[in-house]
Structure 1
Amino acid sequence: MGDLSREELISLARTQAERIAAQDVRIAELTAANEALAARLARLEHLLSRNSSNSSSPPSKDDDPGRTPPAVRKKRDTPAGTRGKQRGAPGSNLAWSDAPDQRRDRFPEGVCGCGAQLTHARDLGVVDRYQQVEVPLMTATLTQYDQHAVRCGCGTLHTAARPQGAGAGPVGYGPNPQAWAVYLMVVHFIPVQRCVRMLQSLTGATPSPGFVHGMLSRAAALTSEVDKRIRTLITLAYAVCCDETPLRVGPKEPKPGRKKADKYLLVACTQWWTHYQVGDRDLATFTAFVVKDLTASVVVHDRYQNYDSAGLGTLVHQLCCAHLLRDLDGAAEVYPDAVWPKRISDAPRALIHETNVAREQNRPGIDPQVKAKLLYNLHHGVLVGL
Structure 2
Amino acid sequence: MAGFISALLTQNEKLTEIVETQARQIQKLEHRVQDLERQLGQNSNNSSKPPSSDGLRKKNNLREPGGKRGAPKGHEGHTLRFHPVPDEVVIHPLTTCKNCNYALVEVPVQNWIKRQVLDLPLAPLITTEHRAEEKRCPCCRTLQSAAFPRTVKAPVQYGESFAAWTTYLSVYQLLPLKRITQFFFDLTGYRPSERTLLEQLNTMASRIAEHESVIQTQLRQAPVICCDETPMRLNGKQQYLHTHSTSEWTLLHMNEKRCGPAFVEMDVLPAYKGIVVHDCFVSYFKSDVTFSHALCNAHLLRDCQGVVDHSRHSWAAEMKELLRRSWKLAKAARVSDRRLSDEVLAELERQYDHILALGETQWSKDKVPEKTGPRGQKCKSVAANLGDRLKRPKASILHFLYDDRIPFDNNLAERDIRMSKVKQKISGCFRTAIGGQQFARIRGFISTLLKQSLPLHESLVSVFRGQFRFRAT
Do residues 214 (structure 1) and 199 (structure 2) align? yes
- 1:176 partner letter: S
The superposition leaves residues 10-51 of structure 1 with CA deviations (integer Å, 9 ceiling, x where unpaired) of: 998898788778766765665455444433432332233222
Residue 81 of structure 2, aligned match among 66, 79, 95: 95
Give secondary structure in 2 for the equivalent of 1:232. Answer: helix
Residue 59 of structure 2, aligned match among 72, 75, 78: 72
- 1:91 partner letter: G
Quote the residue 1:182 is aligned against: 167
Count how many residue pairs are aligned between Structure 1 and Structure 2: 352
Do residues 275 (structure 1) and 251 (structure 2) align? yes
Give secondary structure in 2 for the equivalent of 1:241. Answer: strand
1:295–1:316 contact (8 Å) kept in structure 2: no
Q: Cα distance, 1:261 vs. partner?
A: 2.9
Quote the residue 1:239 is aligned against: 224
Quote the residue 2:114 is aligned against: 129
Do residues 198 (structure 1) and 183 (structure 2) align? yes
Do residues 368 (structure 1) and 339 (structure 2) align? yes
Do residues 172 (structure 1) and 160 (structure 2) align? no
Q: Cα distance, 1:192 vs. partner?
A: 1.1
Q: 1:230 to 1:153 in 2, by over 3 A?
A: farther
Give secondary structure in 2 for the equivalent of 1:143. Answer: coil
Q: Cα distance, 1:106 vs. partner?
A: 1.6
2:224–2:277 contact (8 Å) kept in structure 1: yes
Q: Cα distance, 1:223 vs. partner?
A: 1.4
Q: Cα distance, 1:269 vs. partner?
A: 1.0
Q: Indicate the structure with greater helix content.
A: 2
Quote the residue 2:440 is aligned against: none
- Give, in whole Å, the separation in 2 of the partners of 1:296 and 1:101: 52
- Give, in whole Å, the separation in 2 of the partners of 1:351 and 1:210: 55
- Give, in whole Å, the separation in 1 of the partners of 2:62 and 2:5: 71
Q: 1:15 to 1:264 in 2, by over 3 A?
A: closer
Give secondary structure in 2 for the equivalent of 1:223. Answer: helix
Residue 208 of structure 2, aligned match among 223, 228, 233: 223
Q: 1:29 to 1:263 in 2, by over 3 A?
A: closer
Q: 1:375 to 1:208 in 2, by over 3 A?
A: farther
Quote the residue 1:266 is aligned against: 242
The superposition leaves residues 361-384 of structure 1 with CA deviations (integer Å, 9 ceiling, x where unpaired) of: xx8x5x324997588457624532
**Higher mean Cα deviation, 278-287 or 233-242?**
278-287
Structure number with the bigger relative contact order (C-alpha 8 A, sep ≥ 6) is 2
Give secondary structure in 1 for the equivalent of 2:226. Answer: strand
The superposition leaves residues 106-153 of structure 1 with CA deviations (integer Å, 9 ceiling, x where unpaired) of: 2416677999986x4222222412233233332112121223367999
Quote the residue 2:449 is aligned against: none
Quote the residue 2:31 is aligned against: 39
Q: Cα distance, 1:230 vs. partner?
A: 0.2
- Give, in whole Å, the separation in 1 of the partners of 2:87 and 2:74: 35
Q: Larger Rg: 1 or 2?
A: 1
Do residues 347 (structure 1) and 347 (structure 2) align? no
Q: Cα distance, 1:306 vs. partner?
A: 4.3
Give secondary structure in 1 for the equivalent of 2:77. Answer: coil
Q: 1:369 to 1:84 in 2, by over 3 A?
A: same
- Give, in whole Å, the separation in 1 of the partners of 2:75 and 2:19: 63
Give secondary structure in 2 for the equivalent of 1:228. Answer: helix
Q: 1:335 to 1:101 in 2, by over 3 A?
A: same
- 2:69 partner letter: R
Quote the residue 1:3 is aligned against: none
Q: Cα distance, 1:222 vs. partner?
A: 0.9
**Higher mean Cα deviation, 224-233 or 240-249?**
240-249
What TM-score results when the alignment is normalised by the length of structure 2? Answer: 0.61
What TM-score results when the alignment is normalised by the length of structure 1? Answer: 0.73
Q: Cα distance, 1:199 vs. partner?
A: 2.5
